[in-house]
Amino acid sequence: MVTILLSAFHDTVLSHQAVLAQLGNPTPETPPVADKLLKLVRYFTWFVLLSGVLGITYAGGRFAWEKWSGGGLASPKMVAGAMIGGIIATSAGTIMNAVIG
């Protein structure tokens, strides 16, 4: 009885492996509008980098103003936030490749 069950299990496992082997390895293919989508991604990347530079420049100017006028220092948090946001934005592609690939 045990031999029959093991034989049936073995045949079932081998038949599933044969089906999985028949599926093959699909090759990725670019979508029809990939060039327009990549152009949009490049524009978005440019905008993110520009906004990061503007954010750091604004926070640096505000930091100088706060230092000169003797007010409270809130701008170092802005500089740190802009830098962390820039790091995450520029490494988004690497992060997604690590997660997906």
pTM: 0.54
Instruction: Among 18-22, 24-28, 88-92, name the one with the lowest average pLDDT.
Output: 18-22
Higher pLDDT, 46 or 7: 46
Higher pLDDT, 90 or 26: 90
Burial grade of 55 (CB within 10 A; 0-12, 13-18, 19 or more): middle
Instruction: Please report the pLDDT score of residue 5 as a whole number.
Output: 60
73 within 8 A of 63, measured Cβ to Cβ:
yes
Torsion angles phi and psi, residue 25, rounded to 5: -115, 105
Mean pLDDT of the chain: 77
Q: Pick from 32, 84, 24, 91: which is nearest to 55 by CA?
A: 84
State the average pLDDT over residues 58-79: 82
